[in-house]
Amino acid sequence: MDAFARARELIDTAHAADLRRAGDGRPAELVYADRMEAWVARLAPEAAPLLRLAARCQHLERWSVPRASFPLGRPGYLAWRKTLYTKQAGRARELLLQAGVPAAAAGEVATWVSKAGLKANPGTQALEDAACLVFLENEISAFAAQHAEYPREKFIDILKKTWRKMSPRGQELARNLELPPAIAALVREAVG
């Protein structure tokens, strides 16, 4: 088994420790990793295996740092997110090195997963686009239901922020998503 295959195995073993389950009974984090990798493959079909591994690390062991462990509100959310980026990047590097991936390549994955160089680094941007597409395609309806108390304007603002983080290619793919009518209307209003 080569280093990339070993790394994928180690990453997916870490995902399997997620006690949360998706609708199909698999660990939620493993389902998310599959979705991320599928979107990266669509966004960058010529992408090297390294970018696909990075996609699988997007939420690496996210379950171990619950959102509830940080204060409510935007500052708490931003602190939680920054903590996750750092932790996930470090863990990704650790697993790739353990698998025998060269240090420079493991460092590149850590850069992408940490969100460093968003808009400037193509790998970081590909992961961000994939994360936004996974959110829009698979998570936004549940998010809206969970936050039904949010006024319409707040949802519009969230969608605008999501849209701004995406590249033109990511936005193009997002425009072609089949969304529930109420969500599609919000997206249309947010992006004009």
- In the predicted structure, residue 146 carries a pLDDT above the cut 80: yes
Torsion angle in degrees (nearest 10) through CA of 161, 165, 166, 168: 90
Taking a C-beta distance cutoff of 8 angstroms, is the pair 92, 60 a contact? yes
pLDDT given at position 141: 87
The residues facing 27 across adjacent strands are 21
Instruction: Output the CA–CA distances (angstroms, integers) from residue 143 to 139, 150, 159, in the order listed.
Output: 6, 11, 12
Q: 119 is written with which tokens?
A: 């808009």
Taking a C-beta distance cutoff of 8 angstroms, is the pair 111, 84 a contact? no
* Per-residue pLDDT tens over the stretch 52-106: 999 999 999 999 999 999 999 989 999 999 999 999 999 999 999 999 999 999 9
Taking a C-beta distance cutoff of 8 angstroms, is the pair 128, 115 a contact? yes
- Residues contacting 172, CB < 8 A, separation 6+: none
* Per-residue pLDDT tens over the stretch 148-176: 898 999 999 999 999 999 999 999 999 99
* Per-residue pLDDT tens over the stretch 3-13: 999 999 999 99
- Mean pLDDT over 96-120 rounds to 96
Average model confidence (pLDDT) across the chain:
94
Q: What is the C-alpha separation between 116 and 148, in angstroms, rounded?
A: 32
Q: What is the C-alpha separation between 188 and 158, in angstroms, rounded?
A: 13
Distance of CA 111 to the CA centre of its chain: 14
pLDDT given at position 144: 87
pLDDT given at position 183: 87
Q: What is the C-alpha separation between 51 and 34, in angstroms, rounded?
A: 13
Q: Please name which of 191, 165, 160 lies closest in space to residue 176, comparing C-alpha atoms.
A: 191
- What percentage of the chain carries pLDDT values higher than 70? 99
Other CB atoms within a 10 A radius of the CB of residue 68 amount to: 9
- In the predicted structure, residue 45 carries a pLDDT above the cut 70: yes
pLDDT given at position 77: 93
CA 104-39-186 angle, 5° bins: 130
pLDDT given at position 1: 67
- In the predicted structure, residue 187 carries a pLDDT above the cut 80: yes
Taking a C-beta distance cutoff of 8 angstroms, is the pair 96, 106 a contact? yes
